[in-house]
Amino acid sequence: MMATFRKVTWLSAATLLLAGMAMAQTGSIEGDVVGEDGKNVPKGDCKKGIGACVKIERTDIKGHYQTGTDKKGHYFHAGLPLGTYNVTLEMDGKVRDSVKGVRTRLGDPVPVNFDLAAMKAKAAAMQQAAETGTITKEQARDMSPEQRAAIEKAMKERSAAMQKNKALNDAFNTGMEALKQKQYDAARDAFVKASEMDPKQNVIWAQLAEAYMGIAGTKAGPEREESMNKGLEAYGKALELKPDDAAYHNNFALALVKAKKIKEAQDELTKAAQLDPANAGRYYYNLGAILTNTGQTDAAGEAFKKATEIDPNYADAFFQYGMYLVGKATTTADGKVTPPAGTAEAFKKYIELRPDGANAQVAKDMISSLSGTVSTEYSNPAAKPASKKATKKK
């Protein structure tokens, strides 16, 4: 009986020993979490999804663990069965970094740190390396085959883009120089080439339009009309790409005036004025000048008037509006000049705004002439002067 008891006691001790050994087969993982600002990320709460949460997933068998950072940005998880894990950092519910293949061990915790500031700097360095084509040996050593392939692809794409951009810039600059020299055909050819290389550049279409309008100015008949239509089409493409550019609307309007499309030109100028109220007066003044040069005086007068209404300090607009009104003045049989209402006021406003302006004297002369009369009698300069006696009447 005593022997049996000892045997049972020994078996119990053995069982306890085995249980102790099983409990000892665990390890731990710990580390620090540094944010992009270089400071430790404190007080992570996995349940609430705030701050830094470290998730530990076992890969050899099923197992899921997680823990947040303490007030110093440190995390620690003990009691992890010996095995292989993927350790993932989540910040505010979003995955920010991960380390795969972490093996736990007996004794000291396995350190797995997360440094988002260093990771960000490394990513920026990799991006710069891809853009410049200069990768350090250290960077190459740290790269995975996938990363290395991605960098090489990016470098090839960058090289191709640089060659394309050089060709594009060369074509554009050639066009601008030709346009400056009024070599409109050469400018057109250069801008057409540039537009084929990159049809999404609004400035290319705008300059191509200028080239076509320049060509139209040197042609007549069907050739002029063809070039003008192509110019208007190019302006349309520029505005499709950048509809909020007031200058494009203004230049398109001036081109429409040359094509005798006054209503469309006025619509474009209205858009330009809405997009750029500070320069709206200038847009209508430009319209008035073009209309005057093309003999459309009434439309020009309306444009100058609109410019004065939008910008009450636009001196030249007042002068041109006054000149338009002078053309509308009537002369009675006795030689009295009757200008439309507002004529003298327009000239006076010009003098007020620009007393030393280039047209100041003309404006003053106009004001004086409007208050006088115009002789309607014909006199023969070769006739003899009448005697004093003949001039007397009783």
**Residue 72's CATH number:** 2.60.40.1120
Q: Looking at the predicted structure, is the pLDDT value of residue 22 above 60?
A: no
Q: Specify whether 114 is located in the same domain as 94.
A: yes
Residues 83 and 128 in one domain: no
Domain presence at residue 106: yes
Same domain, 363 and 328: yes
Whether 57 is covered by a domain: the verdict is yes
For residue 287, the model assigns a pLDDT of: 84
Predicted pLDDT at 48: 87
pLDDT per residue as tens digits for the range 161-179: 667 788 889 999 999 999 9
Band of pLDDT at residue 3, cut at 50, 70 and 90:
very low
Note down the domain range covering 353: 312-374
Predicted confidence at residue 137, as pLDDT, reads 63
- Cα–Cα distance measured from residue 255 to residue 163, given in angstroms and rounded to the nearest whole number: 35
Domain assignment present for residue 64? The answer is yes
Alpha helices in 105-261 (DSSP H): 116-132, 137-142, 145-180, 184-197, 202-216, 221-241, 246-258
Q: Hey, is 331 helix, strand or coil? A: strand
What was the pLDDT predicted at 81? 93
- 172 versus 371: the higher-pLDDT residue is 172
In this model, does residue 389 exceed pLDDT 80?
no
Q: What is the pLDDT of residues 338-353, one digit of tens each?
A: 889 999 999 999 999 9
- Tell me the percentage of the chain whose pLDDT exceeds 70: 79
Query: CB 242: neighbour CB atoms within 10 A?
Result: 14
Whether residue 109 sits in one domain with residue 46: yes
**Cβ within 8 Å of residue 244, ≥6 positions away:** 275
Q: How far apart are CA 297 and CA 320, in angstroms?
A: 11
The pLDDT value recorded for residue 132 is 60
* Token reading at 212: 């076509």
| One domain, residues 327 and 365 | yes
On whether residue 197 sits in a domain, the answer given is no
- pTM of the complete model: 0.50
Domain count, the chain: 3
What is the pLDDT, as a whole number, of residue 166? 87
78 within a domain of the structure (yes/no): yes
Residue 110 shares a structural domain with residue 54: yes
The answer to whether the beta carbons of residues 92 and 99 sit under 8 Å apart is no
For 152-178, b/e burial (b = at least 16 CB within 10 A) is eebbeeeeeeeeeeeebeebbebbbeb
Least confident range of 60-64, 88-92, 100-104, 367-371? 367-371
